[in-house]
């Protein structure tokens, strides 16, 4: 898979996580307005986690682009995974 396709895939993951966080947040508002406070709280926490996931993916893509790109390696079970390598060649 080309680097640009991988980057586009990660950007799509980030966008979908952000959309999911907004949906969860609006659902939590509806629950709050209907006096379901515990469920509203838990959905709000999930929404925050999705926002953090979106931010982490964006950070990973940016860091990978500025530090030699997305590097492909094989993990122990033989499937592909991607890591970022810093300029001093230590693994992140």
Q: What is the mean pLDDT of residues 28-36?
A: 97
Q: Is the model's pLDDT at 80 over the cut of 60?
A: no
Q: Which residue has the higher pLDDT, 37 or 74?
A: 37
Q: What is the mean pLDDT of residues 46-57?
A: 94
Q: Which two tokens stand for residue 31?
A: 């629950």
Q: Is the model's pLDDT at 73 over the cut of 60?
A: no
Average pLDDT, the chain: 80
Name the burial class of residue 46, with classes exposed (0-12), middle (13-18) and buried (19+) by CB atoms within 10 angstroms of its CB. middle
Contacts of 88 (CB under 8 A, 6+ apart): none
pLDDT at residue 66, as a whole number: 79
pLDDT at residue 85, as a whole number: 45
pTM over 0.75: no
Phi/psi-derived region of residue 84, left when phi > 0, alpha when psi is between -120 and 50, beta in every other case: beta
Q: Is the model's pLDDT at 42 over the cut of 50?
A: yes
Query: At 17, is the secondary structure helix, strand, or coil?
Result: helix
Name the burial class of residue 76, with classes exposed (0-12), middle (13-18) and buried (19+) by CB atoms within 10 angstroms of its CB. exposed
- Residue 51: other Cβ atoms inside 10 A: 17
Q: Which residue has the higher pLDDT, 66 or 53?
A: 53
Contact 54, 14 (CB under 8 A): yes
């Amino acid at each position: 898979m080309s680097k640009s396709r991988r980057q586009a895939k990660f950007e799509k993951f980030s966008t979908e996580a952000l959309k999911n966080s907004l949906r969860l947040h609006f659902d939590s508002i509806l629950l709050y307005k209907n006096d379901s406070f515990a469920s509203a709280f838990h959905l709000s926490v999930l929404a925050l986690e999705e926002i953090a996931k979106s931010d982490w993916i964006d950070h990973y893509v940016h860091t990978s682009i500025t530090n030699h790109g997305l590097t492909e390696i094989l993990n122990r079970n033989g499937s592909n995974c991607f890591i970022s390598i810093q300029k001093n060649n230590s693994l992140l």
